[in-house]
Each structure stands twice: as structure tokens, then as C-alpha cells.
Amino acid sequence: MPGNDPTSVTLSRRTALQTAAAAAATLASAGGAHADNPSSDTIKVGLIGAGGRGTGALQQTLSVPGSNVKLMAVADAFQYRVDNVLRAVEKMQDKVDCPEERRFTGLDAYRKLIELPDLDLVILATPPGFRPYHFEAAIKAGKHVFMEKPVCVDSYGARLVMEVAKLADEKKRKVVVGLQRRYENRYRETIARIREGLAGDIVGGQVYWNGSGIWYRDRKQDQNEMQFQVNNWYHFNWLCGDHICEQHVHNIDVANWVIGSDEPQGYHPEAAYGVGGRQDRSKNSEIYDHHSVNFSYPRGVRIASQCRQFPGGANRVDEEFQGTKAFVRIGQITDYDGKVLWKFEGPNPNPYQVEHNELHDAIRNDKPLNNAYYGATASFAAVLGRLATYSGKPHDWNKALALDYRLMPNDPTWESTPPVLPDADGQYAIPMPATYKTVDVTTIGKS
């Protein structure tokens, strides 16, 4: 049960209902923007997931040049995160109107925020396991969305995001996914040169996120198992999807983008085969710390992907591709005699800011913008890679996407039992190829 720890605060149901009603009333009386016609008006923003990236994304959306914008509501699992983000934007007070009644906590806080009728834009920056469900709720409520990557961690979530992407188009809602390389000039210009034919046909490539490790948030005394896992989300697949999904999705997306097209519908590999494991057993964690995957694309194109999270090796985070005429590194194209054919030299503004600049422009001027499709193909390509490393077997895109594979329980609360539990020694099981199985956790015990 929740105790005094800042990561274990919840509201009673009665208080929550009263708070939601009061919040809707004050927001409506604030007047102003409307999601369908904000061009002369304020874009009213709600933040769901007020951690590191949510705080950054919020600051960026409040900093879009020339855009009248205001933070109206915050939702987070934990009260201390809500307090932290409001402190972080204290210096932007003219862009913040977020009284107590529009600050929500708990695992259902997202719903109370999304129910606020006059919000135009919501930022989704929780752990990715929640993303498909929050995205669905936001689009159904008619909000524009900025959502962080990855956008799913399993087959069910991928299918849901792909469906909701269509609904976003129907409702003319704008969606940006935080795959910021898509908003970086160095990448955009390199890929423009590839499209012009400078490298010939791309036949293969290598993509890397090899780094030294990730944070671990220790169990606090008065946290129950659910609170511990949500707070320490990186180490649980139902919340994180493993680092191949959470982190390496950026580089896998670049491969999809380079090999495929610039169309918003995205592109994806046909199959994946790989190996992975957990070398560092010092952390009590479900995820692997290295994956090496070969992705097969149409026409015999192959991408070798590596991601690693342990110290001591050489770190490398980048992408390179082989074309029939030249070798591509992002920012430079060289022929096979070593002659530089093109080098990026233009301005390279912060892509995290450009994401929000272009999103506001699309909202205000009703320009088509929906990254949810390629967000889903990139995220599910990473899931496909994880299926390959966990099972030790090749996995086919179509079959994997159709699996009854869902890691998120229905409407979890602090009192729910998480889908994975430690064993008698307090250890979480690490997926092993001989025994690995995909499941839909919502059907367990129901057959």
C-alpha cells in the first residue's frame, strides 16, 4: 500500500472525482484556445509523464518561437514528479497556468488530464509500455499529440498504434513521435542525397547503440511491487520493452527511413534473427544488456544491428550504409576509393526543438503531420529484434505482428499485481531461448 514515500502517493476515488470536475470547470472558464482553430489563440498543453524527457519536451513546446502556448495540466504516476516539473518551468511563469486541481497523480491520472475538454495538445512521456493506451485515449478525445519513442513494446500495442494513427488522420489530429533524428538537418540532408542517387541503391548497413549502461532505481521501503516496477521501469519489459526497443529504436528507425521512403506510412524489415544476453548480472533486472540482430529487408537488403549497455567496451552510437556507388555515414558520403562526394555543412538546429516547432506549425495551419505510422514500424521492428534474441529463432514481421502478444495488464492500478514477479530469492527471470514464450497477459487464467 502507498506510504509516505514521494513515489507512493495516490488519491482516493472520491477526491479524484471531485478534483476532475473542478479541473474541467476552471479550465473551461479560462476560455481561449480550441483544438480545431488555434491559429489566433493559445495552444493549451497537458503533460503526461513528468520525468526527464517529459520535462524537456514541455520546455521545448513552451519555447516554440512566436507560438502562444500555455501549460494547463500535468499528470504523473507520482506526486514528486509533478512537483519537480512545475519547479523546472518556474521561470516560464507567463506560460504556466496549472493550479492544484489540474495536477493529477496515479496510474489513472492520464485519463483525468485527457478528459479536460479544452486542452489542445498532450505530451506523452511515460514509460513506453503505457504509450499505445494513452495515445488511443488522447486521439479519441480529439487532442493533438507529441509522444516519445518507442510507441509500443509488443504486438498488441503496435497494432493499436497503427489503428489509432488512422483515426488521427480522420480527425485531422497532428502527431509527432520523438524520433528526433527525423527532425535533424544532418540526417534529412544525408537522406535527401541518397534519394537523389548519390550513393546508388542502398544494399546494406550497420546501426549501433553501444553504450556503457543505464540507471537503476532501488526499491524503497514503503513501495509495493507495482510502485517499485513503475518507478524502476527500465528493467521490466512490460514497461520498457528492453533497451533494443527503448534506446536502439532510434537507429533502427534510421535504417527503415534510409532503406524505405519518406512517406509517413513508414517501412520495416521482413524478418529478424539474432543473439543477445545478459552479461552483467549485478542488477536485478529482466532485460538483456546486449542484442545483435540481422534485419532482412525486401530485395535482399540486410541491416546488422548492435546494442549494448555495459561498461568497458568502445561506445558507438551511429548508422552507416553501403550503396552500389558509395558509402554513407550520416553527414558524409564517400565513394569506394575514399573520395568525399558530399559533406554536410549547413546549420543543424536542436532537433528536440524542431519537433515542437513543426508540430505547432502543423496544428496552427492544419498541415498534414502524423508520425505515428513510422513510430509504430520503428518500434515494432525493435520488438521483432527482441523476439529474435529472446527466442534465439528467426521471426517474420507479419506473423510476429499478428501474435497474441500483450505485456500490459488492463487498467493497472497501484493495487494490481504486476505481470512479472520476483522468484523466492527476489530475482526476476531473464528470458532464455529454450523456454521463451510470448503471452497476452490479459488472458492469463481466463481460458
Residues that bind ligand NAD (CB under 6 A): 48-54, 75-78, 81, 107, 109-110, 125-128, 130, 148-149, 178, 180, 230, 246
**Residue 369 C-beta-side C-alpha neighbours within 13 Å:** 22
Nearest residue (CB) to ligand NAD, 49 versus 274: 49
- Spell out a b/e string for 117-139, using b for 16 or more CB atoms within 10 Å of the CB, else e: ebbbbbbbbbbbbbbbbbbbbbb
Residues 6+ apart with CB under 8 A from 160: 132, 133, 135, 136, 152
H/E stretch holding 56 reads helix 52-62
Residue 417: CB minimum distance to ligand NAD, A: 16
Residues 6+ apart with CB under 8 A from 249: 149, 150, 179, 378, 379, 381, 382
Nearest residue (CB) to ligand NAD, 109 versus 255: 109
Residues 6+ apart with CB under 8 A from 321: 194, 199, 202, 204, 205, 255, 258, 327, 328
Residue 77: CB minimum distance to ligand NAD, A: 4
Nearest residue (CB) to ligand NAD, 76 versus 120: 76
Q: What is the DSSP string of 391-432?
A: HSS-EEHHHHHTS--B-SPSS--TTSPPSS---TTSPPPPP-
Residue 298: CB minimum distance to ligand NAD, A: 28
Q: What does the block give as the cell for 1?
A: 500500500
Residue 37: CB minimum distance to ligand NAD, A: 29
Distance in angstroms (rounded) separating the CA atoms of residues 328 and 189: 12
Residue 124: CB minimum distance to ligand NAD, A: 8
DSSP state of 96: B
Residue 382: CB minimum distance to ligand NAD, A: 11
CB atoms within 10 A of CB 357: 19
- On whether the CB atoms of residues 350 and 108 are closer than 8 A, the answer is no
Full strand arrangement of the beta sheet holding 271-277: 340-343, 332-335, 326-329, 316-323, 202-211, 302-309, 290-296, 271-277, 395-396
Residue 270: CB minimum distance to ligand NAD, A: 26
Residue of this chain nearest to ligand NAD (CB atom): 51
Q: Which residue has the cell 515542437?
A: 356
Residue 362: CB minimum distance to ligand NAD, A: 19
Residue 53: CB minimum distance to ligand NAD, A: 3
